[in-house]
Structure 1
Amino acid sequence: MTHVQAEDGTEIFVRDMGEGDPIVFLHGWPLSHRMFEYQYHYLLDEGFRCIGIDHRGYGESDKPYGDYSYDRFADDLKAVLDELDVDGVTLAGFSMGGGIATHYMNRHDEAHVDKLALLAAASPCLTKKSDFPEGLDEEELNPLIEGARTDRAAMNAEFGQMLFHTEQSDEMMEWLWSLGMDASGLATAASAETFRDADLRPDMDGITVPTKIYHGVHDEITPFEITAEVLEDGIENAELVRFENSGHGLVADETEKLNEELAEFAG
């Protein structure tokens, strides 16, 4: 475990485990790298190196006031990969982490990355634009931002109930809630504004590496039709893998399938 200093001095927490082909994990909103616990168990046993990063504002990283844009998150990731001096990476981004991964690939010319895995990605565009009428209304995401500002504990609990298609234990839900409460309230609100407003469609043209898109067909947060299918059409070397029994939280809805898919793709 270590911290890497971003260009503005923010300390980014990195958990680096194992040896072998590297997989770098980018967590979703409003969690931390620990959300991938049940991927780490499997992939470490399969001989992979697993690198989990806490985005600024989350987990064990610094939680500054200020910029929580996709530019900033992508630049933080570049600082980490440069410092670790790691190449041949499979970059695995979940939800907001998928948006960060999409933007990183174009902004930093795919540096260090040989393969891209997008897991229930909040990418490329969630809300309606003049040329994207199929997107969500902003009003559907605004309660997350308002909740982060007024009653973050309740908002995190309500958001957790939206994550899964299969039943999860009360203890699992409490654990995920605790990960969300470890985040900065300022970061939680600001980065929700980022993924609400972002349009990453231009970034798709900059992605040339083999890409797998893993997405639950019952996803209520990043709906399959406006994210997964758009990514498949927009990324040159992309293949879409449907998770028929998953909502947004495919890491827990279909853990075994996801783990096996990641191992096969990254190997």
Structure 2
Amino acid sequence: MRRIDETAGMPADEPFGIRSAPNQVRTADGTTLFVRDWGEGRPVLFLSGWTLNADMWAYQMEPLSRQGLRCIAYDRRGHGRSSDPGRGYDYDTLADDLAAVLAALDLSDVMLVGHSFASGEIVRYLTRHAARRIGRVVLVSPAAVPYLTRTPDNPVGVDAAVFERLREMLLDDFPGWAETGADAYFVPGTSRPIKDWTVRMMMQTTLQAALALSRIQTATDFRGALAGIAVPTLVVHGDRDASAPLDLTGRPAAALIPGARLAIYEDGPHGLYFTHKERLNRDLLAFAGAVP
């Protein structure tokens, strides 16, 4: 297997990306992505979880941008303030969107930080585009890796019928489903306004995108790709994650990535980027090399 830390340069057909406005990048297929870019210093690019957008990272980007890091995040196609092209909801296109943002901002030595679904985007980017622009990777509450569906060679996975029932509920009442799951996404004592804010963010994602991303997340096998990652990698996972249980995703993913470090957050839920923000911010600063 080709190691995905190559530095020989990007292929001639590196995805087109231009900065079409101060907060916009246009991709090769004409999709416009909303991009937020705060601070100066080593670049950290945040990728959002399933149906979330750049706003979810506010409690990382604001403090870290004051502590020597350039913090960047964008809304995935069909999410938030980005355009709704009605297509491209596959890992190859999403990886190309990430490559377009990196190229448009001319970023290098980037620390990629991805939450939940975005773990798959990051792995596919490294597989598809190599790691010339990437210095480090942080997978926060990964929910797409290594492989979620139960098969004969993946007995710890979840039966595919369970995921189909989930998508039926989304198709029937997406807002109601999101509201019902808000408590388990955080921890007891999390404020009602934070839960409402998160649900509102999810509702800024098209139903088409939500369903398509759910399908590829549960059907894609990243086990072989994880074994080829050769950039320093930190996996952060809570031991009370109801959305992506530690032993299904974070722990086996860290075991498959050579040299990866697993940080387990006690009482950490899926939404630990908010509930455990102080610890996460310290870990991100340290892993970026911004503090001793």
TM-score (normalised: structure 1): 0.96
- What is the alpha-carbon distance in structure 2 between the residues aligned to residue 144 and residue 38 of structure 1? 29
User: Which residue pairs with 1:61 in the alignment?
Assistant: 82
Alignment RMSD (CA, Å): 1.3
- Residue 160 of structure 1 deviates from its aligned partner by 2.2
Q: Show the counterpart of 1:170.
A: 192
Q: Determine which of 40, 58, 80 is the counterpart of 1:37.
A: 58
Aligned to 1:153: 175
Gaps of 5+ in 1: none
Aligned residue pairs total: 267
After superposition, give the CA deviation of every residue in 1:122-142 in whole Å (9 maximum; x if it has no partner). 112122122111012223333
Cα separation, 2, equivalents of 1:129 and 1:175:
37
Misfit runs of 4+, over 6 Å: none
Larger C-alpha radius of gyration, 1 or 2? Answer: 2
Structure 2 distance, partners of 1:146, 1:203, is: 30
Deviations 1:109-130 (A, max 9, x none): 1231100000001112122122
Map of 1:211 onto structure 2: 233
Amino acid at match of 1:43: L
Tell me the residue number matched to 1:52.
73
Q: Which of 226, 244, 247 is residue 248 of structure 2 equivalent to?
A: 226
What is the alpha-carbon distance in structure 1 between the residues aligned to residue 158 and residue 222 of structure 2?
A: 15
Give SS of 2:36's match: strand
Structure 2, gaps ≥5 residues long: 1-21
1:88 equivalent among 109, 112, 123: 109
Counterpart-to-counterpart distance in 2, 1:34 and 1:86: 21
Structure 1 window deviating more from structure 2 (141-150 vs 111-120): it is 141-150
Map of 1:255 onto structure 2 = 277
CA distance in 2, matches of 1:250, 1:139: 28
Aligned identity (percent) is 36
Q: Deviations over 1:201-245 (max 9, x none)?
A: 121133101000000011111110121111111111200000012
What is the TM-score when the length of structure 2 is the normalising length? 0.88
Deviations 1:148-200 (A, max 9, x none): 32211112212323312343111001100110011111101111111111111
1:26 is aligned to: 47
1:101 to 119, 122, 139: 122
- Distance apart, 1:55 and its partner CA: 0.8
Larger % of helix: which?
Answer: 1
Once residues 176 and 146 of structure 1 are traced to their aligned partners in structure 2, the CA distance between those partners, rounded to angstroms, is: 21
Residue identity in the other structure for 2:47: L
Instruction: Give secondary structure in 1 for the equivalent of 2:33.
Output: strand
Query: In structure 2, what residue type is equivalent to 1:101?
Result: I
Partner of 1:111: 132
**In structure 1, what residue type is equivalent to 2:210?**
T
